[in-house]
Amino acid sequence: MSEISFMKKGLSTFSLKILACVFMLIDHIGMLLLPQVEVLRVIGRLAFPLFAYFIAEGSRYTRNKLKRLLTIAVLGVFYELVFVLFMGYFIGNIMLTFTGSIILIYLLEHTKKKFIENSRLGYAYLLLFVFNLAGAYVVCKLIGVDYGFFGMITPVLAVAFDDMGEWSDKLYSVIGRKYVSLFMFSLGLILVAIFEVELECQIFSLFSVLLLLLYNGERGKYSFKYGFYLFYPLHFLVIQAIMFVVFK
């Protein structure tokens, strides 16, 4: 059996996103309804990495970068308004985190492109990227977003070595883009576990890399893109409703 045929039988984008939703549901049940069942939080650690990796993947391949950025940003603001309305406090939802991730990824792409073109604008873009990186750090510390600054840059690390001309071509020919990407992505997960999430079980998020190694690069039979976007706030509100009924 060839390597290509083996990879085709791996997990598609759709399959991994379904798993991410299941892990997220389990995590939030453990957080809000059954905090005494620690294994639920351990399983839930696999959700964020899967969603974060596909933020990076989507940023690589999307044809309309502005539309993708605005979609995530508008959803992030809308979800936050819903959460504040129904829960009464700011949570810094994950879509806001991923909005920052996408902005940084696109700025990094433009910076590398200008340097490859030997454009004088390369240094201006590099300065802009560093300025936005510092700004993201300040915003994350001041207002707080889900998974914090290191959660925001984890998708950025996954694409850090992309599109660097001959240098990245040689690196990927020796190691493989997927393995380089997952190694850098793993570093981001470790930083999140150390600095951002006050859960001893957060280090279990690294087991998500085993699932991502099975990613076959295919979208899958179904897309259901907006279904995934809607699942995030809806499942949260359902759990909140159950809490209200059970614990009122």
Summarize the confidence of residues 18-32 as an average pLDDT: 96
What are the pLDDT digits (tens) for 116-134? 888 788 889 899 999 999 9
User: Whole-prediction pTM value?
Assistant: 0.92
As a whole number of angstroms, the distance between CA 17 and CA 41 comes to 18
Q: Is residue 248 pLDDT above 70, yes or no?
A: no
1 versus 197: the higher-pLDDT residue is 197
Query: How many residues are recorded in the chain?
Result: 248
Q: How high is the pLDDT of residue 167?
A: 81
DSSP-based three-state secondary structure for 11: strand
Q: Which of 56-65, 132-141, 158-167, 218-227 has the highest mean pLDDT?
A: 132-141
pLDDT at position 6 is 42
Question: pLDDT digit string (tens) for 100-112?
Answer: 999 999 999 999 9
